[in-house]
Amino acid sequence: MFLLEQDALNGKAGKAFAIINNRNVEVFGLKKFQSEAEFQKADFSVVGTNVTQEKIKGVKMTGSATVYYGTPIFLDMLREYLKTGKLPSFVFQITNDDKGTTVGKQVVALYNVKLNKVPIALLDDSADFLTAEISFSYTGIEVLTAFNERPLQLGGE
């Protein structure tokens, strides 16, 4: 069995929101978004074997976003930090919703998001459109709505 092309998700079919200070703000200039969890491991050696095992000791969750320059919410958070000494944490809510597929919709929330890097000013004589890279870390996730367990039809059935 295999996935049919009609159920491949369109990368543009979705939305991203940032929930900051109880305000739900659409990230309207989003070009690309990616979040990931990387398992942190420690080597584990024991007498009686030459094999070094790995034990999971934690997980590090990070992400990045590419936005069109002129998306103000991230610079606003930097300004708040510079003014108050407190960097707001926030929630990212990411929705994949390609209505042309049968895999359904997925909504994932990333909690306690903290910015790592925010561009302040950009100029680029070779760019048709200015984009900016944002990096962040977060400490929790929740799948608010999950994709269907499988599409309505698979190839090879």
pLDDT at 28: 83
58-89 pLDDT, tens digit each: 999 999 999 999 888 999 999 999 999 999 99
Cα–Cα distance between 108 and 94 in angstroms, integer? Answer: 5
pLDDT at 42: 97
| pTM of the predicted model as reported, rounded to 2 decimal places | 0.90
Cα–Cα distance between 154 and 59 in angstroms, integer? Answer: 34
Tokens representing 42?
A: 């420690």
62 Cβ contact partners less than 8 Å away, ≥ 6 residues apart = 35, 36, 38, 116, 135, 136, 137, 138
- Listed as ranges, residues in the chain with pLDDT below 70 are none
pLDDT at 134: 96
